[in-house]
Amino acid sequence: MDSKVEVTGKTKILGVVGNPVSHSLSPFIHNFSYKLLGIDAVYVPIEAKEAYIEEVLSGLCFTLNLVGFNVTIPFKERVVRLMDISGKEVEAIGAVNTVKRGEDKLIGYNTDWKGFLESLKINNVGNVKTALLVGAGGASKAVAYALLQMGVEKLWVTNRSKANLDLFLERFPQFEPVLWDQDEIAKVLPEVDLVVNTTSLGMDGNSIPPVDLERLKKDAVVYDLIYEPETTPFLAWARELGLKAVNGLDMLILQALYAMEIWFGKRPDFKAVKDFVVKGRGSRG
């Protein structure tokens, strides 16, 4: 079975709205999943210009009659105000990644935090009492919300930009700020159970956050939201030290499965989808 779709006049249309979206894995994940579920639907990438995002959203749902769509960078925060109804998690996180079309309304959700939370369970990451969040940008907020839902007792956050850090702390005052400095970050690391990199450092295959992983406990977990490359320098270092290391692919797949539950009331088997994605990534170019 592959992710190619036969489109008919009855085929439901969904998609991902962002800029850029040409290399998104989401169509690959969704179209294969719809086949597994026996749903006559197609999921397409929709590259939108920021100046026209309002027209794009209303046009997609009420003119083109889309069932719903996902939202990705750079629109997750901007579209919050365009929703007619939003889940409580949207208010807490301040971002929408999943939209469902109601009869005459747009309903916004955030499934990123659920994807992160379930990815921890799938990777047997439990008993997290302390956590360090690296980065305070858009992706960090869903992770922060998930950590709070887990009941993590002690939370730190570090970020290069003080302005973004201050905005993050306004939304999540439960976190204690740490200066973006390797020596300062090192002071809290012996207490940390879970480190989560939410920055783009490592996406180029070279850069790394200023976190000295050698200061962590031997049973600490290092999580990197980046899934391409599969192993960032940060994760490679963690594995060299014998630490559990998790990339962002499971979270990406799981947030998609939660979106399917919202749109269709069901989701496919996670392992079947992940196996397909892992096998097919290399052939996508």
* Binding region for NADP(+): 135-139, 225, 248
Distance CA 182, CA 184 (A): 6
Binding-site residues for shikimate, in ranges, read 24-26, 72, 97, 112, 227, 255
Binding-site residues, in ranges, read 24-26, 72, 97, 112, 135-139, 225, 227, 248, 255
Euclidean distance between the first and the last CA atom of the chain, given in angstroms as a whole number: 19
Distance of CA 37 to the CA centre of its chain: 23
Distance of CA 284 to the CA centre of its chain: 21
Residues with Cβ within 8 Å of residue 133, at least 6 apart in sequence: 140, 143, 144, 147, 155, 156, 157, 158, 175, 196, 198
HSE value, Cβ hemisphere, 13 Å, CA-based, for 283:
8
Distances (CA, A) of 37 to 2, 41, 124: 13, 10, 27
Task: Read off the amino acid at residue 61.
Answer: C
Is 129 catalytic? The answer is no
Catalytic-role residue among 12, 35, 76, 266: 76
- So which residues are the catalytic ones? 76
